[in-house]
């Protein structure tokens, strides 16, 4: 068994301990109807999903999928799903972020559909497939990925005769030049939870892993300290904007050039375009800066799966729809347009929607940057079993660190300690 398989098998063993104690009720969702027609329900929130379900039903007369929109996961959708599983009335399918899947597995909320899904492994990018599997178990179909790149204000860069930084050292130099040109200009702004995780992912600075049959938490490792200290240096030298990401002040800064870069996932293109309309025509996309230009690596932020929830009475029909949603060219092309999703399926990387110039980005076709980045995303990253709490604890510390009231390294250490304490409280085995 190679290291990757050993890690997956170990993680599976760790979660099995939790599954045995979860005690979930069984749902009748997905049981074949008297007519013999498969009938399943799908909960999600992504723009375009309702239309995708309509297209599936029109082209699959032997199946009927009912789509129900729920609140985005962190805003209540995930708790609704977990409550439904416990009550025995959950839908067969649900939109679940990769970072949250291990938490669902640890609570016994997912159905293993490997019998129907395992043969499709080669359809998906390695990192995405790894995100929906544990050992030989498969819990759903990968939908999208979030390879990262550098969004930068080309107007600002050109005015200072700056090139997009190829390395993090060059990124710091650009930060100094940009702030020196105007005290209200900054290179970047605070990163929290999964956006920050992408910066660590790039360096293979893992947060979670397995050791034997126990969870190992390494958020405060030397590799993570390297990333934290780099960004801490930018904070200490007052090169980072104080505007929180996704706050109106952030959008204003992106629109008027006061925030000159966003290191973010492909889906950030839609966020920037939608929230910073005044920046139209000024922005461009370049590869993510590297620690070692001779060995390029890329982080990932975001991505989700169509997960099969525990108790689904027709796992075969559930997988058929989940796989179709992720691989049907016409349907996924519409999702690119409506939700700025970037496909996890290999055969969709040449979609025409990913080949169009974008006026917002000065006529640049930005997707080839992400197509080049996707294979450079490491596949060893593992999310922990309590990510909702881990992310909340981390955000509390990071918020203080970005404001200069503590340190990023300290935030990681505290989040690690609090995560370990909660794991032990819930009976999960942890490695010292």
Contact 298, 376 (CB under 8 A): yes
Q: What is the mean pLDDT of residues 111-135?
A: 95
Q: Quick one: 267 and 396 in the same domain?
A: yes
Q: Smallest Cα–Cα separation from 262: which of 364, 270, 176, 382?
A: 270
pLDDT reported for residue 379 = 86
- Tens digit of pLDDT for each residue in 227-274? 999 999 999 999 999 999 999 999 999 999 999 999 999 999 989 999
For residue 166, the Cα-to-chain-centroid distance in whole angstroms is 24
Residue 195 has pLDDT above 90, yes or no: yes
Residue 150 has pLDDT above 50, yes or no: yes
Q: Quick one: 316 and 387 in the same domain?
A: no
Contact 401, 408 (CB under 8 A): yes
Inside any domain, residue 368: no
Residue 215 has pLDDT above 90, yes or no: yes
Q: Quick one: 23 and 9 in the same domain?
A: yes
Report the share of the chain in percent with pLDDT over 70: 91
Q: Quick one: 190 and 141 in the same domain?
A: no
Number of domains in the chain: 2
Domain at 185, CATH number = 3.40.190.10
Q: Quick one: 255 and 397 in the same domain?
A: yes
Residue 20 has pLDDT above 50, yes or no: no
Q: Smallest Cα–Cα separation from 251: which of 239, 268, 230, 232?
A: 268
Inside any domain, residue 223: yes
Q: Smallest Cα–Cα separation from 75: which of 47, 38, 45?
A: 45
Q: Quick one: 404 and 338 in the same domain?
A: no
Q: Quick one: 23 and 51 in the same domain?
A: yes
Q: Which residue segment(s) compose the domain that 115 sits in? A: 3-145+303-354
Q: Quick one: 235 and 104 in the same domain?
A: no
Inside any domain, residue 360: no
How far apart CA 124 and CA 258 sit, in angstroms, is 39
The pairs formed by 167-175 with CB atoms below 8 angstroms and a separation of 24 or more are: 167/289, 167/290, 167/291, 167/293, 168/230, 168/289, 168/290, 168/291, 170/289, 171/261, 171/289, 172/230, 172/233, 172/234, 172/239, 174/261, 175/234, 175/239
Model confidence at 167, pLDDT cuts 50, 70, 90, reads very high
Question: Residue 308, Cβ neighbours under 10 Å: how many?
Answer: 31
Model confidence at 134, pLDDT cuts 50, 70, 90, reads confident
pLDDT reported for residue 37 = 78
Inside any domain, residue 430: no
Inside any domain, residue 369: no
- Tens digit of pLDDT for each residue in 86-107? 999 999 999 999 999 999 998 9
Hey, what's the torsion of the CAs at 270, 276, 279, 282, to 10 degrees?
Answer: -30
pLDDT reported for residue 31 = 56
Side-chain-facing half-sphere of 169: CA atoms under 13 Å: 3
Inside any domain, residue 376: no
Burial environment of residue 126 by CB neighbours within 10 A (0 to 12, 13 to 18, 19 or more):
middle
Inside any domain, residue 373: no
Residue 23 has pLDDT above 70, yes or no: no
Q: Quick one: 60 and 163 in the same domain?
A: no
Q: Quick one: 140 and 193 in the same domain?
A: no
Q: Quick one: 265 and 326 in the same domain?
A: no
Q: Quick one: 39 and 70 in the same domain?
A: yes
């Amino acid at each position: 068994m190679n290291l990757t398989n050993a890690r997956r098998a170990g993680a599976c063993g760790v979660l099995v301990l939790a599954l045995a104690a979860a005690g979930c009720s069984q749902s009748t969702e997905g049981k074949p109807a008297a007519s013999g027609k498969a009938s399943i329900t799908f909960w999600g929130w992504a723009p375009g999903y309702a239309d995708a379900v309509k297209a599936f039903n029109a082209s699959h007369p032997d199946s009927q999928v009912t789509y129900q929109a729920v609140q985005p996961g962190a805003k209540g959708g995930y708790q609704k799903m977990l409550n439904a599983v416990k009550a025995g009335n959950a839908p067969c399918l649900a939109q679940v972020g990769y970072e949250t899947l291990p938490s669902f597995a640890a609570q016994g909320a997912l159905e293993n559909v490997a019998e129907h899904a395992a043969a499709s492994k080669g359809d998906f990018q390695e990192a995405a497939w790894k995100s929906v599997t544990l050992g030989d178990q498969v819990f759903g179909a990968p939908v999208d990925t979030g390879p990262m790149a550098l969004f930068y204000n080309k107007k600002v860069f050109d005015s200072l005769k700056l090139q997009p930084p190829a390395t993090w050292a060059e990124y710091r130099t650009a930060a100094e030049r940009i702030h020196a040109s105007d005290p209200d200009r900054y290179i970047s702004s605070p990163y929290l939870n999964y956006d920050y995780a992408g910066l660590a992912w790039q360096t293979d600075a893992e947060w979670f892993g397995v050791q034997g049959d126990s969870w190992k938490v390494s958020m405060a490792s030397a590799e993570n300290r390297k990333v934290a200290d780099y960004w801490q240096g930018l904070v200490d030298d007052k090169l980072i904007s104080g505007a929180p990401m996704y706050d109106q002040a952030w959008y204003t800064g992106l629109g008027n050039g006061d925030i000159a870069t966003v290191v973010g996932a492909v889906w950030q293109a839609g966020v920037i375009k939608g929230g910073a309309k005044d920046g139209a025509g000024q922005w461009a996309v370049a590869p993510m800066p590297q620690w070692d230009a001779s060995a390029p690596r890329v982080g990932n932020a975001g991505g989700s799966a169509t997960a099969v929830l525990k108790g689904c009475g027709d796992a075969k029909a559930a997988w058929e729809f989940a796989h179709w949603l992720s691989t049907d060219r016409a349907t996924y092309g519409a999702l690119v347009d409506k939700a700025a999703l970037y496909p996890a399926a290999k055969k969709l990387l040449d979609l025409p929607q990913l080949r169009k110039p974008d006026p917002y980005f000065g006529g640049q076709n930005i997707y080839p940057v992400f197509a080049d980045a996707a294979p450079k995303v490491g596949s060893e990253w593992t999310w922990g079993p309590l990510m909702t709490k881990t992310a909340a604890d981390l955000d509390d510390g990071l918020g203080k660190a970005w404001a200069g009231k503590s340190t990023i390294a300290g935030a990681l250490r505290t989040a690690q300690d609090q995560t370990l304490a909660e794991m032990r409280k819930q009976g999960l085995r942890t490695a010292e």
